[in-house]
Every structure is written in C-alpha cells, then in structure tokens.
Amino acid sequence: MSNKKKNSNKATKGHKKKGGFLKGFFLSLTVLALMAAGIAGGLVYASIKDLPSFNPKEILEELNLNSYIYDESGTLIEKIRAEENRTIVPLENIPKDLQNAIVAIEDERFWDHHGIDLRSITGSLLENIKAGSVVRGASTITQQLAKNVYLSNEVHITRKIKEAYIALQLENSLSKEAILEAYLNSVYFGQGAYGVHEASETYFSKDISELTLAESAVIAGVTNSPSNLSPYILVRPENLTSENRILGDVTILGEVYTAVFNEKSLDRQRLILSEMREQGYISAADYDSAISEDISAAVIPGKQDEEAMISSYFVDYVKNQVVEDLVNRAGYTEESAHRELYTGGVKVYSTVDIELQRGVEEIYQNFGSYVSSGKLSSWSSDPSGNIVSENGNIVYYRKNNILDENGNLLFSPDEFDVSSSGDIVIDSPKLIVSSDSIDIRDYYSLGPDGNLLTHSLGKLSLSKDNYSIEDDGAVRISSGFLNEAVNFNMSSGSSQLVVGNSYFSNDEVGVLQPQAATVVLEQSSGKIAAIVGGRNMSGQKILNRALLPRQVGSVMKPLGAYLPALDNGYTAATPVDDIPYLNEKGDIWPNNYDSRYRGLISLRESVELSVNTNAVKTVEDIGVKTSMKYLERMGIIKSGAKDSFVTRQEDREHNDENLAALGLGGLSKGISPLDIAGAYASIANEGTYIKPRSYVKVEDRNGNVILDNTPSKTKVVSPETAFIMTDVLRTTVSDGLSIAKKARIDSGNSGIPVAGKTGTTNDNADVWFAGYTPYYTGSVWIGNDSQSVVLSQDSGMAAQLFSSVMKLAHKNLPDRGFERPSNIVEREICTVSGKLVGEVCDRDHRHVIRKELFVRGTEPISKCDAHVLLKVDLSTGKLATSGCPSLLVMNRFFIKRSVPYDPEKYNGLYPEDYMYAPPEVCHHRGSALESDTEDEPRVPDRPREDRIDTDTSVPETVAPAPVPDEEYVPNTEGEPPAEDPPLEDEFLEEPLNPDQPDSDFIRYRRN
C-alpha cells in the first residue's frame, strides 16, 4: 500500500472520527438543550400552575381605588382613601406628554413588542455584567403592570416567569392603549400616591389635565425609585438645615412634616426630557423650554390629610349605612362590603345639606353663646374630691387621686396586696374588670368656665399571660412579669403601686361636658340634612351621641300616648281627669312635676302642660299593646332588627311594656335622637313614616347603581289625625309651658310655626326638644355622658338650641303654615267636658271655652253636661232643699264628674277643680230644688287689672277652695233682697314667679 493511500485512509479514518465526535457533541448538546428545555418547561409550569385565574379585560377592577362621598348636587364631601391612594383616570384625559415621558424612560419599544422585549433583556444583561451590578432593568411596561396588579415584589426567578407569562396574556387580550392606561393608573409615584391622577395632586396640587411637559417629566421620573426621586421629601422640622429649600408643611395622621425640594428629581427629569427628544417625542425647542422651567416653584405639596368639609359625624354614619345596606340588601359579606367601600372606588351620593351641617357644627363650637353660658352641670363629690353617683360610687376620679405628676397610675396600699409568691393582687374601684379587658376609670378636670372635662385612661395594656382574674374580680399580676417589667412596681419612698403611663392611654385634652346631639330631617323624604353627635368636632370615628339611646322623658308622650289615642277614639278635646293615679301597689304615682292636680282638662291641655298623670291614664286606656303598635310604625320598635326598645319577650323582668316607659319615657335603655327625629317626622309627614336615610344612591367604579336608597313608606295614622296632633304640638309651643316657647323660630310662632315637645328626665339628667316645622323635623338632646352628672338647667336649654338650629335651616325659606286637610272642622267647645258649650260653661272663670279642631265625624254634637247649675243654701253651703229659707238660696255652678272624686282615697289630695264639686244635700228637710237657668242676673267678671296675685308659692297639695261662682236669685216673694254675695275665688293667668318660667299655669287665689 502506498503512503498516499495510507494517508488517504488515515484521513478517511480521521474524518470518520471527527464526524463521530461532532455528532456526539451535537447530540449531547441537543440532549442537554432538551433537558434544559424540560427543566425550564417544568420550572415554567411549576411557576404558573398556581397562578389564580384572572381576566385581563378587567384589570382595572383589580386596582384598589379611593371612594367618594358627595352631596346630592355632586359636591365632594370626603375622599375615602384606599390603602393605595388611587383615582382612575381614562387615557384620553392623561396628557400626551406624560404618556410619552413614561414610554420613553420605561419602555421605548413599548408600541412594537408583544409584552417581552428580548432586545432589551439582552442589552440589560450586558450592561449589568459590565457594571458588575444591576444598573438597568429589562421589564417592559406590560411586565411591570403584571407585577403591580397580580404579583408581589419578591426577587425570584419564578416571579419573573409569572410576570412574563401574564404579560403575554395581557398583550394577547388588550390593546396597547388599554395596557398603558392600566399602567399609568396602577404604578406607585411615592408620597402615598398611586396612579398619575394622585401624583399630579400630590406634587403639583393640580388636575392632571393641567400638567406641563416639564412637570410630566418630573412625575415620569419618580417610578424608578419613588423614595429617592420624588419632587420633595418630608423632613421633621427639627431636622431641617440651612441648605433645605422649603416648600411647605404636610400633615400626616396629625403629625406635621416639612416638605423639602429634592434636587435629584431634576437630574431624572433632564434624563427623561433627553430621551423624549432623542426618540422624537419633543423638539429641541420643547426640550429647552422644559429645562428652563423652575420646577421647585411649581411643586406645591398636596394635602396628605385632607381637610374635611364637615366633621366625621355625618360621613361616618353614611359609611356605616352603606356597609350595612351592602350586606343586608345587596348580598355582600361583611368583609366584601367593607372592601367595596374602602377600596372599590364607589361613589356615595349623600343627603347632607353641607351649608346646614357646617352651620350646626359652628353652633356646637360656640355652644355657650347659643344655649347658655356658665356652669351647665352639677354633681356630688366625696371628701377626696372624686365625683360620685347617688349611691356613693366613684364616677370620675379627681386627677391627682388617680395619676401622679408624671401621668402614672397610682394605687394606694389599701387597693392592692403582695402575695407570698410575689404576685400583686389589685382590688380597686379604679379598675373596671371584665373577662376580656381591664379598663381604667376616667378622671375629670374643670374648664375655665367651671364646666366639666372628662378624660379617658383607656385599658390597662397587659398580655393575658401576665395576669389573671380572681373570683372576686381582683386582678392578679404575675411575679414573673413584675420581675422583668419596667415602671410597674412599688414606688421608692412610698408604699404606693405605680403603673407607668406606657401601660395605658391618656386623653389629656378631655371631653367637654355636658354633651349634646342634634338631628335635622326633611320629613317629606326622610333625608338627613344634618347630624351632629357631640361638641367635639375634630378626629375620625368620634362618639356619635345622635345614634345612642338616652332616656327621653316627656318627648315620649305624643308618640306613646296621645297620637295612638287620637287614632283610637280620642279627640283634642277629650277630657282626661288630672287627679292622683294609684299604681298596682296602691301608691300615688306618678307625680306631676309641679305637684299639682288640675282636674278635668282636655287632651290638648294635657300635652301643653305636660301632665304626667294624664299621659299614664291615656296609655292605660288605649292599652300597652296598642301603644307599641304605633311605636313600631314610627320606627321606635324595629321588628326583626336591632333597636333599643326592650320587649317582654327579650326580658320578662325589666322591659318597656309598661305605663312608665310608654307614657313617660322611662325606658330601660332609652331612644336615640335619630329615632326620635324619625318618629316625630312621621307626624309632620301627614302620618307617614319614612326611615331616616343618609344617602340616595351608591354607584360602583363603572357608574352602575349598586344601592338605590329610595325609601319605603309606612302609614302610621291618617293625615287628618296627624294634623290634629300637629296642631296640639303647635299650641304646646305657642301657648304651653314657657320652656317650650323657646323653640319658636319667630316670636308669634306664626310665620313658620314650630310644633313640638320638651322632655326632661329625673334630676335633669337629660333634656330634650323634638319638633318640626312644615319643612324640617329636628331633635335635640343635651346631657352628660354619665347620668350621675346632671344638668343645672331645664329642657328650655334644648328648646333654645332647637330654635337656633331651625333658624339656620329656614333662613332662606318663605313663611308657610301646616297644611290643613279639607275635612278638618272647628267647633266651640268646653274643655272640661270636651263637648259643645252649654248654658253654664261661661260661668267658669278659668277660660274653659275655646275653639277646637276635629276630624269631620268626630266633632261633638251634644252640649256640655259637666258644668251644672244647682241651688245652694248659703247658710250651710250645701245643696238646697224645699225646706231651706228662700232668702238664703242661690244658684251656683258646679262640675259634675261621672265618678265623684273621693279625697280620702288619695291621702287627702285635692284637684284644683274640686272646689266646683257639688256638695252634699242640706240637712233642712225637703226635696232638692231645681235650678233656674234662664233670665237670671249674673255677677260680672272683675276687671283683670284688679286681680293681683301676692302668693308666689306652689302648694304641695291643693286644698278644697270655698264656694265657687254664685248668682244672686231675686226675691220673688216681696222680701228684702239679700246682701251682695261675697266675692268668689278668682283665677289668674300670670306666672306664679317671673323667675320660674315653668310656672306658667292658670291658678286661683282667694279674695
């Protein structure tokens, strides 16, 4: 074989070897690639298999949005900030310069790629390798959107795989414009601003449509590092330096920071403007103009804590109502309802009258100017100066009896013991112990005007592992905790236990007492126009006393007694006998507030004079169940819903199914001012109840109505019955007790009349006025948070506050009276009998003849039979018989009850009209004489100016007065006429005492 051949064979052999190697190499490479692909595929699958399902077309629905509360006209009242402060704005409303700035700096090939930019990834990888660190990201706008909406910020390969997968899905489902819109609304811009709308408000305090090119570039630059590149940074005032360029103050959660211009934002802005010029978005001239703009002058920090237009009393109530209705009416869960309101971007259209709400709040801020100045509360104290209840229990501690000068909690040696194991056992009235918490009793201080300020100390902050509750309620603090605790030990140099102020809160500002609440409704619609729940106007979630039940006193009488009575056979003229009432134990109860009994008076007078006995008798007559039926119609008793009325079914021993609760307002828990306003509004609204509502409708983020709060209506009584009750309440304000007259809007109560009722509970713990005009219904409550602290003034204070509020509500409204139904008729009646005026009624000097209103068909048709004229023997003062000397016989009028009054049955108490009770028959033998009623001369009324009342006291009991009005009977037998009869008792209308306006009653004196 030749060498050539050999070489050829070698070559062939070598080629074969080389070819085999390459085959093996590529085969191995293929296998490795397949393995890598398999691993990668497995990694991809593992990464995306647990992704929750999502709909790219609903990407904006995934964003947390601010919600808004408006008034009905669309004026913004409050922005409910989501955890991510964001407001969605359509792409067409975002300036093109801002859109282009974002694309230029974040993703220059955004309009060309399909969600993942391989070129950008390669370039980024090379730059990062060259720099030895991450200097450039490779995520497209679509990938950033995927991360912002669906993923977390974790740094892991699996997140990047998920991000890329979601980005491809988004690009496959959405247009580029839709992706850009979603990105611009989702990305974080620092200082709590999410999305371009809030960024514009936060940094430039302007609407996004007003941004300049230079400002747009500044905003676009923030996204790379919000904490470093925002136009301003926040610095505590004490950390400011002379180099800082101060822009203003920003308040966050009540703390004030100083906004300082951030020079780094300018470097980033110039980079972006340069990119925009190079990519053809702006011209060189645009660039130069933007660079020359003074951004530091343009940056105006927006308000982080926005100043609310009104206090939180109204808006907090609106929020609660929306959540409640989303659950009860729209099928939301409690959690989803809260999420919808606080992150769902809903729009709530409320019923508030902003001007009125602000006006009422201003009245409350100047409470003393509108109600009364000086000390308004009174209380009892123990020898140590602590405020105590009637039974001596401490209600509020004097500050230095519970705290030391450093605000630490003090326990005296008799309030704790140290066990042999080192535990401390605290048994002190300073602690209110329950199974869940240890509350610390409040303390008090005095304001400059002598009024009370109460201060809360909150709860004792201890882990349950560190204490236990003894059977007697004492608190055992474990020695293990005490050995390690700081500022929870015996004080040095004394035997007191000192608990450091870090273990509890201390409201050093305090809550001013007395407190008050007001509700104003539009009765025709149920819309709440204004609601104020206290004299504290600042803060969120403050205690809203307009929603809390309190004892209502006589405000209950029209609701529980007289309106139901008018709908069940009574009229405004129906006589009710104001005589002592015996309860089931045989005791005289209740007392009238002035310890008087007037006798037979009409229902109208019973309301005007706030007679307790007659309210109780009326409820007893119509029945407890009947009264409750009307309270349910008026929204006081809420069948199937939470209310404050306690039924027998709820508590057999202590409930409100009794005369005291329904007639006098002595309820177990009370009624809230809001519910009282709603009930009175049903009378004002022609007898139809509409549940008070704080909003009209709620729209979701897309403008769909998810709650339509059109009210349902409940008929309580007929319009005619409601009008009669209204007129009774109108004259209660016009002609009743002087305290009720303070509620009038005008002095004559005629231009825009007020109808209403005062209410006072025992010892002036609570005072009320509830009433209405033809336009609005309102309720006012005043009282102290603790009922052991009482008021120093009566319910005239509440009536005065009502008047101030209503004058504000009606300042631009024309005069208007209550509309009288067509079938209301008027008759002249006698208030003693409730019937038409009889022949004898005008002899009663107490002005018992008046015109009264009736629903047609209920007016009286017979004449008074209560006033009777009888012959009396003057020598005995008894009813004359045929055996009495004719010269001594005279006619006198009397009041004849259907059941004669027996003073002995009532401990010798007499009603004021007992003086008119017919006496017994004279002892002279003979038959009773018939009285003549015609053609008899009458003793004329004495002129009013001669009636002088020198007695200013109010007797505790009313003794029987001597003989009443008498008429001289001419001698028909030729005998000399008898002497003029003695002067009778006279009746006065002046107040008993000018300094006691509550005493505005008709009373008599003996001449």
Check residues 953 and 721 and name the one with the higher pLDDT. 721
Could you give the angle at the alpha carbon of 38 between the alpha carbons of 33 and 41, nearest 5°? 120
What is the tally of helices (H) and strands (E) in the chain? 26, 44
Instruction: Say whether 821 sits in a helix, a strand or coil.
Output: coil
The 8-class DSSP code of residue 699 comes to: E
CA dist 460 and 477 (Å) reads 12
**Residue whose structure tokens are 């002279």:** 924
Q: What is the mean pLDDT of the chain?
A: 85
For strand 1003-1005 and strand 986-988, is the pairing parallel, antiparallel, or unpaired?
antiparallel
Q: Give the residue among 627, 821, 816 at the shortest CA–CA distance from 723.
A: 821
Confidence class for position 255, pLDDT limits 50, 70, 90: confident
3-class secondary structure for 927-974? CECCCCCCCCCCCCCCCHHHCCCCCCCCCCCCCCCCCCCEECCCCCCC
pTM for this structure?
Answer: 0.80
Tell me: pLDDT of 37 over 70.
no
Tell me: pLDDT of 192 over 90.
no
Per-residue pLDDT tens over the stretch 423-448: 999 999 999 999 889 999 999 999 88
Whole-angstrom CA distances from 937 to 323, 370, 906, 968 are 76, 55, 38, 7
Average pLDDT, integer, range 893-922: 95
Structural domain boundaries in the chain: 377-513, 515-810, 824-916
CA dist 205 and 170 (Å) reads 33
- Residue type, position 144, single letter: Q
Whole-angstrom CA distances from 776 to 208, 306, 425, 816, 829 are 41, 31, 57, 12, 32
CA dist 177 and 771 (Å) reads 58
652 and 668 Cβ atoms separated by less than 8 Å: no
CA dist 39 and 777 (Å) reads 75
Q: HSE of 506 in the Cβ direction (CA atoms, 13 Å)?
A: 16
Per-residue pLDDT tens over the stretch 873-889: 999 999 999 999 999 99
DSSP 704-743: -EEEE-PPPEEE-S-HHHHHHHHHHHHHHHHHS-HHHHTT
Give residue 167's pLDDT: 82
Backbone φ and ψ of 529, nearest 5°: -85, -35
CB count, 10 Å around CB of 708?
10
Average pLDDT, integer, range 116-143: 68
Tell me: pLDDT of 341 over 80.
yes
Percent of the chain with pLDDT over 70: 82
CB count, 10 Å around CB of 291?
15
Instruction: Say whether 217 sits in a helix, a strand or coil.
Output: helix
CA dist 768 and 754 (Å) reads 15
717 and 566 Cβ atoms separated by less than 8 Å: yes
Average pLDDT, integer, range 920-934: 71
Give residue 97's pLDDT: 96
**Which tokens in the block code for residue 582?**
């015996």
Could you give the angle at the alpha carbon of 537 between the alpha carbons of 531 and 543, nearest 5°? 70
Per-residue pLDDT tens over the stretch 463-488: 989 999 999 999 999 999 999 998 89
What residues does 453 pair with on adjacent strands?
445, 512
Give residue 50's pLDDT: 57
Tell me: pLDDT of 293 over 70.
yes
**Which tokens in the block code for residue 247?**
């822009």
Could you give the angle at the alpha carbon of 702 between the alpha carbons of 698 and 706, nearest 5°? 30
Confidence class for position 928, pLDDT limits 50, 70, 90: low
Q: Give the residue among 202, 210, 231, 223 at the shortest CA–CA distance from 94.
A: 210
**Which tokens in the block code for residue 436?**
């869940």
Q: Give the residue among 800, 799, 782 at the shortest CA–CA distance from 791.
A: 782
Q: HSE of 29 in the Cβ direction (CA atoms, 13 Å)?
A: 6
Confidence class for position 132, pLDDT limits 50, 70, 90: low
Give residue 147's pLDDT: 81
CB count, 10 Å around CB of 408?
21
Rg (CA), the chain: 42
**Which tokens in the block code for residue 194?**
């999410």
Average pLDDT, integer, range 145-161: 67
**Residue whose structure tokens are 């007016």:** 859
CA dist 504 and 411 (Å) reads 15
Give residue 152's pLDDT: 56
Average pLDDT, integer, range 969-984: 38
CA dist 563 and 740 (Å) reads 19
CA dist 208 and 654 (Å) reads 62
CB count, 10 Å around CB of 253?
6
Per-residue pLDDT tens over the stretch 794-847: 999 999 999 999 999 999 999 999 999 999 999 999 999 999 999 999 999 999
Give residue 27's pLDDT: 56
Per-residue pLDDT tens over the stretch 615-662: 999 999 999 999 999 999 999 999 888 999 999 999 999 999 999 999
Residues, the chain: 1007
Tell me: pLDDT of 729 over 50.
yes
**What is the CATH topology of the domain spanning 515-810?**
Beta-lactamase (3.40.710)
806 and 754 Cβ atoms separated by less than 8 Å: yes
